[in-house]
Amino acid sequence: MTDLLLGFGTTMTLIVAIGAQNAFVLRQGLRRQAVAGVVAVCVISDAVLVAVGVAGFGAVVRRWPSAITVAAVAGGIFLLGYGFLAARRAVRPRAMQVDDGHGGRPVLTALALTWLNPHVYLDTVLLLGSIAAGRWLFGVGAVTASVTWFVALGYGARLLSPLFAKPRAWRVLDGLIAAVMIGLGVGLIAGS
């Protein structure tokens, strides 16, 4: 039981920090667009990465650090592009238009924000993997934290809908998203 709680707590401390993936899930939750698909991408991706880390893949990645560099540059370029799109939306905000559509673009964006983000590999595969080191109950706790967080973020965002009925709120949110994305993108490219 201790491993389960340790996995849950460790993952929650890593996952709650505002980043590209969380900002996107929040935005999709507010828009009510493809929330189930976006949340599923995040949860399934985390489950795969946690399993890979617990199984010991972190040691393999440490032998080929160039893979992290390639992922950092690709992820940085993607985040810069997404950040500039958010900045453009911040300049021309509109009131929230609820769209329950299930288009593929948000799901593809969630896939890119997850799998092109080298921090995901560092946090989930290397850090959690090194702590878990074959302790599968730790991994179950980590995946449970991921499910809890992404479901709460994606579907809990609806509670903020009245606030985002005004264009000014979208301007602030998109401005913050732009700053986070561009900052992360520059940091990833500069650090690689």
Higher-pLDDT residue of 46 and 23 is 46
Q: Is residue 84 part of a domain?
A: no
pLDDT in tens, 69-127: 776 677 678 778 878 887 887 887 665 444 444 456 899 999 988 898 777 877 787 77
Instruction: Quickly state the pLDDT bin for 23 (edges 50, 70, 90).
Output: confident
Q: How far is CA 69 from CA 72, 78, 125, in A?
A: 5, 14, 15
Considering the domain boundaries, does residue 188 fall inside one?
Answer: no
In a domain, 159, yes or no: yes
Asked whether residue 87 is domain-assigned, the answer is: no
Write out pLDDT tens, residues 46-72: 999 999 888 876 566 567 767 667 766
Domain assignment present for 144: yes
Residue 18 has pLDDT above 70, yes or no: no
Count: domains in the chain: 1
Cβ proximity of 154 and 22 under 8 Å:
no
Which residue range is the domain that position 139 belongs to? 2-72+94-175
| Residue 82 forms part of a structural domain | no
Lowest model confidence (mean pLDDT) among 11-20, 131-140, 142-151: 11-20
